[in-house]
Amino acid sequence: KAGVTQTPRYLIKTRGQQVTLSCSPISGHRSVSWYQQTPGQGLQFLFEYFSETQRNKGNFPGRFSGRQFSNSRSEMNVSTLELGDSALYLCASNTGQGRGTQYFGPGTRLTVL
């Protein structure tokens, strides 16, 4: 099976812009979670989607949002970008049945100038 894929792999944006990141889960996986990784804060949970519904949410401002499509692909959007949003954004998928192992994608490196 193909692994989790994320596009784009690298992005450069300026403050105030918005950005959309995409994640395709492993075939058959219905849950997609998003994480932000920064040198200062480490890996932090953003939110989780299952069957097109947000099932869990971390402690991030409303500028961070997401959605999931019927084919389980997910997108994450960040509006009004700030310098502090520069990070590696990782998505992970699992079957969604119970507490399954989360398999991570390669990440999208976002740089905000």
Please report how close the Cβ of residue 16 comes to other proteins at its closest, in angstroms.
Answer: 26
Q: What is the dihedral of CA 16, 88, 9, 61, to 10 degrees?
A: -40
Cβ partners under 8 Å of residue 59, min gap 6: 44
Q: Is 43 in the site for other proteins (CB under 8 A)?
A: yes
Query: For residues 30 and 80, which CB has a smaller minimum distance to other proteins in the complex?
Result: 30
Query: For residues 16 and 60, which CB has a smaller minimum distance to other proteins in the complex?
Result: 60
Q: Is 110 in the site for other proteins (CB under 8 A)?
A: no
Q: How many residues does the chain have?
A: 113
Please report how close the Cβ of residue 32 comes to other proteins at its closest, in angstroms.
Answer: 11
Query: In the window 65-94, what residues touch other proteins (CB under 8 A)?
Result: 88, 90, 92
With 0-12 CB in 10 A as exposed, 13-18 as middle and 19+ as buried, what is 49? Answer: buried
Q: Is 107 in the site for other proteins (CB under 8 A)?
A: yes
Closest by CA to 89, choosing from 3, 2, 6, 4, is 6
Q: Is 58 in the site for other proteins (CB under 8 A)?
A: yes
Residues that bind other proteins (CB under 8 A): 4, 31, 33, 35, 42-45, 48, 50, 55-56, 58, 88, 90, 92, 99, 101-107, 109
